[in-house]
A and B are shown apart, each in its own frame.
Chain A
């Protein structure tokens, strides 16, 4: 395991060419903890508002639109002018609100629900932290931390920009899957420690589900590893660089239909790993009260919520890194690469932020579209659909690479300067076309035949969709 170049630079700058462990620690804080705090935490927090707003819009409601920054402004005025009478303070507040732009901004914050975010945060911190009688104290108390650790550890290996990566693990893809496994330990501990049969059922369901869905996740990642020939996430990103202004064509998802399919499968399996509706077996409020977090309150409950949203971000970031070019821009990537280092870092981190935020929005969209599956349906979807599809895609991908290699498609393609001479499947236009047309055509024929043979829709489904 190696620390990223930025970590080493900072450590060397602090304590000389052979940095001591604490200098490396400071470097890690600067390169891992601070970006995670600055990028992931706010998005995880805002994600809750996004969720509520999107849900409201889909259900013809307003969502949070009442709590604003008015209260905070009033507090500030009260504190700053405490020597004046109340009426004068009110008049000052009215004057401030009437200033051009201020009232508008406050109104926007109020309608967008961001004020609600602050209010919820304060509420969560202020709530009583209840440890009910009959719980397994230590296990109960430690569980939220483990869940949160599991959600944040993997970000150490996700490259946010060319130099903004904390751990250059050669097996980065594996590390991400392994580290995120902490979460399920946290969930099981929460279920067990609560001393409550519904919580325990929730925890057990979480384990059964996450362990099952790690197989399609692993297989999907294996596809990318096969294609890129490396498990280092940074090199996987570098592999998706084609050196053209239309840089999106270099992304893995456009290389082969099998990779595109694997991206979808990884996204859905990741969704199941986050325990989000339609896969929220572990919470299932109609069956298990609130599942593993029934007994939690206050900040500990907040940690579970934070872990959930961070995991959503992690899935978005992982799909982006593996299939959507990571932190690369869809167009004009070479120009961004030519910018000075600090600017390039900011732009790249921003692009990754946009990508995983879009992933979060997509997950929210799915959540408010699909109802919850039954437990057996969740398992069947995993073992009878996702896993076979993953295996088929892997097989197809291997075949593509074999035939492409035989046809002379392996090139030493352009890659980031740091990784010279990287092996690259660089298909010419014809090869690319063949790679897409043949499998898609085959699948289309297969579906057509299947529809002819079994096209009878399930009667209930037919009724629901109006026979469409």
Chain B
């Protein structure tokens, strides 16, 4: 019985030391980064995923020129991502003048794509909205209208695929193309709340409209200010005249100077 007890202790200590040795080996290997034993965690925004499945449900993309503003996607969406305006074009067809998808709300369920009768709405494989990444920067620039050209659906897919690979593994051509659509200097990393999909003309129109409203507002404010200033000036002049009448000659400060 005593021998069994001693044996038990021996085995316990042996197993304990074996375990401690194993963890210590992992620790040392990981710290020294040898034998392929470095940390296997992918450092996400800096090391984007290399492989994205073909059928990944990523960001939505709308070909605004064939969208008929039927609001089917709007009704299908369980979280109310959509807001859109439309108007009649020359052929009396409905066309989108504004089409916003709030990607910060979207749950990537794909119901809107199923509902779309014209197949204008589709899902890309892009999933990146972190503005520290190329893809996220692209979205940000597109959102704030800083892109000088509109990307078509294949372009968006290409962008998403390229941006999800490490930069070093890209061909020079791909890299140059990517740099033309993303913002390599990493300025404008402020934040992203939604996505606006404009045709360039509509965007220009919306911008002009916004500018016009802003100017109108400014003009109104300036007019109000001028009117107020005039009133005040008149009141001040009146008060001054009254004071001058009451002030003894030679004391232009009204007798208030120390």
Q: Which residues of A are at the interface with B, using a C-beta cutoff of 8 A?
A: 54, 56-62, 365-366, 368-370, 384-385, 388-389, 446-447, 449-451, 453-455, 457-458, 461, 465, 468
B191-230 near A? 1/0 per residue, CB < 8 Å: 0000000000000000000000000000000000000000
Indicate which residue in A59, A365, A450 contacts B4 across the interface (CB closer than 8 Å). Answer: A450
- CB pair B10–A57 under 8 Å, yes or no, is no
10 residue pairs bridging A and B, Cβ less than 8 Å apart: A56-B39, A57-B30, A60-B30, A369-B23, A385-B8, A449-B3, A450-B3, A454-B4, A458-B11, A461-B15
B22 touches A369 (CB 8 A): yes
Q: Nearest Cβ in chain A — how far from B23, in angstroms?
A: 4
Interfacial chain A residues near B26, Cβ < 8 Å: 57-60
Q: Which of B4, B6, B7, B20 contacts A366 (CB 8 A)?
A: B20
Residues on the B chain within 8 Å of A384, using CB? 5
Residues of B within 8 A of A58 (CB): 23, 26-27, 30
Bound Cα distance from A58 to B12, whole angstroms: 22
Determine the chain B residues whose CB is within 8 A of the CB of A454 once the complex forms: 3-4, 7
B78 at the binding interface (Cβ < 8 Å): no
Q: Which of chain A's residues have a CB closer than 8 A to the CB of B171?
A: none
List the A residue with the shortest CB-CB distance to B24.
A365
Interface flags, B11-54, vs A, CB<8A=1, else 0: 11001101110111011001100000111110100000000000
Report the separation of the CA atoms of residues A256 and B258 in the bound assembly, to the nearest whole angstrom. 93
Nearest Cβ in chain B — how far from A328, in angstroms?
A: 27
Closest to B46 in A: A66
Given the known interface contacts A60-B30, A458-B11, A465-B18, the answer about A447 and B6 at a Cβ–Cβ threshold of 8 Å is: yes
Q: Is the CB of A385 within 8 A of B39?
A: no
B10 and A450 contacting across the interface, CB-CB below 8 Å? yes
Contact (Cβ within 8 A) A451 B7: yes
Residues of chain A within 8 A (CB-CB) of B11 are 457-458, 461
Bound state CA distance, A220 and B24, in angstroms? 28
Query: Please, how many angstroms separate the alpha-carbon atoms of A326 and B239 in the complex?
Result: 87
A454-B3, A465-B15, A465-B18 known; A62 and B39 CB under 8 Å? Answer: yes
Check: B170 CB closer than 8 A to any chain A CB: no
What's the minimum C-beta distance from B65 to chain A, rounded to whole angstroms? 38
A370–B38 contact, CB under 8 A? no
Q: Is the CB of B41 within 8 A of A61?
A: yes
Residue pair A60, B24 in contact (C-beta under 8 Å): no
User: Closest CB of chain A to B15's CB: distance in Å?
Assistant: 7
Instruction: Please determine whether A60 and B38 come into contact, CB atoms closer than 8 angstroms.
Output: yes
Going nearest first, the 3 A-B pairs with the smallest beta carbon separation are A454-B7, A450-B6, A450-B7
Once the chains bind, are B6 and A62 in contact (CB under 8 Å)? no
B111 located at the interface, meaning its Cβ lies under 8 Å from any Cβ of chain A in the complex:
no
B109 within 8 A of A: no
Contact B30 A453 (CB under 8 A): no
| Closest-CB distance, A66 to chain B (whole angstroms) | 8
Known contacts A58-B23, A458-B11; 7 further A-B pairs (Cβ under 8 A):
A57-B27, A60-B38, A60-B40, A61-B40, A61-B41, A389-B9, A457-B11
Distance between B44 CB and nearest chain A CB, rounded to angstroms: 10
Residues in A with CB closer than 8 Å to B15 are 461, 465
A385→B11 CA distance, assembly (Å): 13
Cross-chain contact A453 with B7 (CB below 8 angstroms): yes
**In the complex the two chains form, what is the Cα distance from A142 to B39 in whole Å?**
42
Question: In the complex, what residues of B have CB within 8 A of residue A465's CB?
Answer: 15, 18
Which residue of chain A lies nearest to B9 when distances are taken between CB atoms in the complex? A385
Which of chain B's residues have a CB closer than 8 A to the CB of A369? 16, 19-20, 22-23
Q: Are A62 and B10 in contact (CB under 8 A)?
A: no
Contacts of A366 in B (CB 8 A): 20
C-alpha gap A366/B22 in the complex (Å): 11
Question: Roughly how many angstroms separate A446 CA and B2 CA in the complex, as a whole number?
Answer: 10
B239 to chain A, nearest CB (A): 35
- B1 → chain A, closest Cβ, in Å? 10
Which residues of B71-106 have CB atoms within 8 Å of chain A's CB atoms? none
How far is the CB of A71 from the nearest CB of chain B, in Å? 15
A365 vs B26: C-alpha distance when bound (angstroms): 11
Residues of chain A contacted by B23 (CB below 8 angstroms): 58, 365, 368-369
Contacts of B38 in A (CB 8 A): 60
Distance between Cα atoms of A453 and B6 in the complex (Å) = 11
Which residues does chain A contribute within 8 Å of B5, judged by CB atoms? 384, 388
Contact of A447 among B10, B16, B40 (CB under 8 A): B10
A60-B30, A60-B38 known; A370 vs B19 contact (CB < 8 Å): yes
The chain A residue with its CB closest to the CB of B16 is A370
| Cα A54 to Cα B8 with chains together (Å) | 30
The reply to whether B27 and A451 contact each other, CB–CB distance below 8 Å, is no
A345 to B15, CA, bound (A): 41
Which residues of chain A are near B3, meaning CB under 8 Å?
A: 446, 449-450, 453-454
Given A58-B27, A61-B39: A446 and B6 interface contact (C-beta under 8 Å): yes
A3 to chain B, nearest CB (A): 42
**Contact across chains for A54 and B27 when beta carbons are under 8 A apart:** yes
The docked-state distance in angstroms from the alpha carbon of A57 to that of B40 is 10
Q: Which residues of A contact B43 (CB under 8 A)?
A: 62
Nearest chain B CB to A390 CB, angstrom units:
13
Least Cβ distance of B89 to chain A in Å?
42
Contacts of B27 in A (CB 8 A): 54, 57-58, 365
Question: How long is the Cα–Cα vector from A458 to B11 in the complex, in angstroms?
Answer: 9
Residues in chain B near residue A370, CB distance under 8 A: 16, 19
Chain A residues whose CB sits within 8 angstroms of the CB of B12 once the complex forms: 385
Rounded to whole angstroms, the CA-CA distance of A453 and B2 in the bound complex is 11
Nearest-neighbor residue (CB-CB) of A385 within chain B: B9
> Contacts A365-B23, A366-B20; is A60 near B7 (CB within 8 Å)?
no
B25 closest partner in A (C-beta):
A58
* Smallest beta-carbon distance A276→chain B, Å: 15
A62 and B33 CA atoms in complex are apart in Å by 11
In the complex, what residue of chain A is closest to B30 when comparing beta carbons?
Answer: A57
Within the complex, the shortest CB–CB distance from B60 to chain A, in Å, comes to 30
Distance between A379 CB and nearest chain B CB, rounded to angstroms: 15
**Alpha-carbon distance between A366 and B18 when the two chains are bound, in angstroms:** 12
A227 CB to closest chain B CB (Å) equals: 23
The CA of A389 and the CA of B11, in the complex, are separated in Å by: 15
Which chain B residue shows the least CB distance to A446?
A: B6
CB neighbours (8 Å) of A61 from chain B are: 39-41
Residues of A near B41 (CB, < 8 A) are 60-62
Question: Which residues of A are found within 8 Å of B6, using beta-carbon distances?
Answer: 446-447, 450
Q: Which residue of A lies closest to B20 (CB)?
A: A369
> Which residue of chain A has its CB nearest to the CB of B36?
A60
Report B-chain residues with C-beta under 8 Å of the C-beta of A457. 11
Contact between chains at B30 and A455 (CB < 8 Å): no
